[in-house]
Amino acid sequence: MSDILLIHGSCHGAWCYEGLITELTGLGHNARAIDLPGAGQDTTPYPAVTLDSYAEAICDALGPRTLLLGHSAAGFAITAAAERRPERIARLVYLCAYVPAPGRTMLDLRRAQARQPLSGALVKRDDGLSYTLRPEVAARVFYQDCSEEQRRFALARLGPQPIAPQSAVVRVSDASQSLPRSYILCRDDQTIPPEFQAQMTADWPRENVHVFDAGHSPFLAAPAALAALIDRLAET
């Protein structure tokens, strides 16, 4: 049995992992998810939400030896946490996630994509500190391979995304880079182009990059198959 902590991406919350937690628990793991500051049920005001606050929240939730999975934008958050508490992390798993590069923010990486599926989709809110995603675009780029029921479930729960954490650079050192790392590349991703996922992991050992037949939200579209892959990663 492994301790598994699941970290959500932009505009999401712990709610998105309900089905995956059920599947992982059924495989004998202690699986759980948290709301990052300012997301889901967490009421942290947006001016206080930073990449550092994300890392602190994750570190507070780690067990003695935790498999830490981050989806999409959370690739930065789990790396920041690993830089702080590597001794408590058994493996980092990047689920179709942005992989931090020295001196570059998550927004820098998104702009570096040759294709821009989110072009025109993000709407900055009046507070100037967060953005939302147009629902009709979210249905297409996040949930195109989900059922109608799953799409309704997710769209009703999407929230604003604080901008500050995505505008910050994460320190990258041996603390995080020397940990066991796995990348799950989603072949049909309509948010982070699969070719850009391949580009971010071009220098990774091939055995650490796992191609998965799903879109950007496999925890909704294919929770059983995703849990089976995570289970295999936890065994290594």
> pLDDT by residue for the chain (236 residues), tens digit each?
999 999 999 999 999 999 999 999 999 999 999 999 999 999 999 999 999 999 999 999 999 999 999 999 999 999 999 999 999 999 999 999 999 999 999 999 999 999 999 888 899 999 999 999 999 999 999 999 999 999 999 999 999 999 999 999 999 999 999 999 999 999 999 999 999 999 999 999 999 999 999 999 999 999 999 999 999 999 98
Q: Is the pTM above the cut of 0.95?
A: yes
Q: CA-to-CA distance for 236 and 234, rounded, in angstroms?
A: 6
Mutual orientation of helices 18-26 and 223-235 as an angle, nearest 10°? 50
Closest among 174, 183, 182, 187 to 216, alpha carbons compared: 187
Burial (CB count <10 Å: 0-12, 13-18, 19+), residue 199: middle
What is the structure's pLDDT at 119? 85
What is the structure's pLDDT at 91? 98
DSSP-derived letter for residue 119 is: T
Q: CA-to-CA distance for 204 and 36, rounded, in angstroms?
A: 28
